[in-house]
């Protein structure tokens, strides 16, 4: 693997990481990764078994830790994404464009009571970057931000309590809707506010939450329990669709375990993801995941002027 910090140059060193990931991939995982890349699997967990015994204490904030103990797993992640036909991306308005971000419990003294409690409680299902455009919308021009992630990638460093990541396929939840409700979800009937980690004031007003126009994998969804609301002039079918979608999700979640050394690749627009309760405790040997985003090779955005090649507006 490259010796450099994977937060620096993950695009430039992608091919090297890809070759090394291909060599490390088991014969069992190789066809599964191909199926994931083709959209035949909504998510995939690759269990690398990599040695993480040298990890430092679990950090207390989002910014990545410049510690060599996790770098090989970081590069394996870049390589696995490349094998799936994707490249690592980040957003200038989200954690300052960091290529990898820590998912950890945070101390009350640093972030306040509300955010500290939120980091130790279950997280409701959503897609990341819900207020950002679909690729087809970005292609039409006039967008403030680049497209939302095609892939969400979670990387296990520590998970002592086996806190589950909760995943639900969008297609199964949509099966609960009537044709009229499905049609309403494709209409300009929803307002979408930015999620908490995205430092932007841009609210998407009068927009669809469901698209059939994306180049990959059929139906594409953007969703958040708290950030997606019917517009003031939305028809009853739009309100009913959102309500029935939420109700259907509750019965569809699958709990998956992301342990040390595991790489979980998720199709962000085809899967709603959430989290079980990590429990109390901060730092030390508490839960520590990394999170990064990916775009499939055909997805384009607006690079941050003067920023690293993976960072976009």
Note down pLDDT in tens along the chain; length 313 residues: 788 999 999 999 999 999 999 999 999 999 999 999 999 999 999 999 999 999 999 999 999 999 999 999 999 999 999 999 999 999 999 999 999 999 999 887 666 767 767 888 899 999 999 999 999 999 999 999 999 999 999 999 999 999 999 999 999 999 999 999 999 999 999 999 999 899 999 999 999 999 999 976 678 999 999 999 999 999 999 999 999 999 999 999 999 999 999 999 999 999 999 999 998 899 999 999 999 999 999 999 999 999 999 999 9
CB count, 10 Å around CB of 109?
Answer: 8
HEC secondary structure over 153-194 = EEEEEECCCCCEEEEEEHHHHHCCCCHHHHHHHCCCCEEECC
Between the CA of residue 85 and those of 15, 36, 150, 194, 268, what are the distances in Å?
11, 10, 11, 28, 15
CB count, 10 Å around CB of 108?
Answer: 13
Contact assessment for residue 189 and residue 90, using Cβ atoms and an 8 Å cutoff: no
DSSP structure class, residue 104: -
pTM for this model (two decimals): 0.97
- Locate 130 and state its tokens: 């819900």
Domain spanning 14-312: which CATH class is it, in words?
alpha beta
The CB-side HSE value for 91 (13 A sphere, CA atoms) comes to 23
**H-type alpha helices, the chain:** 14-24, 29-37, 71-83, 108-118, 135-139, 170-174, 179-185, 236-249
Domain positions in the chain are: 14-312
């Amino acid at each position: 693997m490259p010796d450099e910090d994977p937060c620096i140059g993950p695009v430039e060193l992608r091919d090297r990481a890809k070759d090394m990931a291909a060599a490390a991939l088991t014969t069992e995982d190789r066809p599964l990764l191909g199926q994931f890349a083709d959209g035949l699997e909504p998510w995939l967990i690759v269990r690398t078994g990599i040695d993480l015994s040298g990890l430092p204490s679990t950090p207390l904030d989002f910014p990545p830790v410049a510690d060599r103990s996790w770098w090989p797993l970081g590069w394996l992640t870049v390589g696995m994404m490349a094998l799936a036909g994707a490249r690592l991306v980040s957003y200038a308005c989200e954690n300052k464009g960091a290529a990898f971000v820590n998912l950890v419990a945070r101390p009350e003294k640093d972030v306040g009571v509300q955010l500290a409690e939120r980091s130790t409680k279950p997280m409701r299902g959503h897609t990341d970057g819900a207020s950002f455009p679909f690729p087809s919308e970005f292609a039409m021009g006039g967008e403030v931000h680049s497209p939302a992630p095609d892939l969400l990638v979670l990387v296990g460093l520590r998970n002592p309590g086996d806190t589950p990541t909760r995943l639900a396929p969008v297609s199964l939840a949509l099966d609960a809707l009537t044709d009229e409700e499905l049609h309403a979800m494709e209409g300009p009937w929803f307002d979408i506010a930015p999620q908490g980690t995205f430092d932007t004031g841009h609210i998407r007003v009068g927009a669809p939450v469901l698209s059939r126009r994306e180049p990959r994998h059929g139906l594409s969804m953007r969703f958040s329990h708290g950030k997606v609301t019917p517009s003031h002039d939305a028809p009853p079918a739009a309100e009913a669709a959102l309500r029935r979608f939420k109700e259907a999700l509750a019965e569809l979640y699958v709990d998956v375990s992301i342990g040390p050394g595991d790489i979980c690749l998720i199709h962000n627009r085809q899967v709603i993801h959430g989290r079980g309760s990590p429990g109390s405790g901060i730092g030390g040997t508490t839960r520590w995941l990394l999170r990064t985003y990916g775009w499939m090779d055909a997805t384009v955005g607006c690079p941050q002027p003067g920023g690293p090649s993976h960072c976009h507006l």
